[in-house]
Amino acid sequence: MISGHPRPNAKAQLRLLAERLERFRDEQEPLISEVSWQVARMLKTIHHGLFDPELSAAAVKCRSGLHDHNESCRFKYEVGRSIGQYIHSLRLQAVIILVAEHRCSISDAAQHVGYRHLQTFYRAFERCAGMSPGRYMHNMRDHIREGAESQAVLARPNFSAHSGAPVSSESITDP
């Protein structure tokens, strides 16, 4: 830091990370066909505020104007995952992309995508990947060194946010 301001290099890096996260969010917008209007509204809310540290299942329902517990059950039934699992799966994919493409540290990437507490990130990662983030990144680097496509490593079914969700050509738009 120079006189309390981040170095220009750091600012440029932060801008690149923010741009990449926006691209990621846009690429991950789910396609909707046979989901209820309530689930569609919750999906819009999730994708609009995906990297907001305040985003939780309760916040999604509140921001969507839905307050019934049944809405969480409806989401899980129609999407195949709970609201929290869906948020975590998208955020975890974003962390992997930031680390792989921008050589961002795992902890910095986790904070950029909305994890306030690293322990929450590590628990979510281990639950989805079956291994620690460090071990996963090490395995990914080994695959890349061996000539395997990084997308093959990233395309783990456990990280899919859309498992079981119906899809069509109708895209969600921002709320």
Query: For the structural domain made of 35-158, what CATH number should be given?
Result: 1.10.10.60
Q: Are 106 and 134 in contact (CB under 8 A)?
A: yes
Helix axes 8-28, 83-102, angle to 10 degrees: 130
pLDDT tens-digit profile of 130-159?
A: 899 989 888 877 777 776 544 444 444 345
Half-sphere exposure of 112 (CA within 13 A, CB side): 27
Q: Are 50 and 87 in contact (CB under 8 A)?
A: yes
| Domain coordinates in residue numbering, the chain | 35-158
pLDDT tens-digit profile of 63-118?
A: 999 988 899 999 999 999 999 999 999 999 999 888 888 888 899 999 999 999 99
**Which sign does the torsion angle of CA 61, 64, 65, 70 carry?**
negative
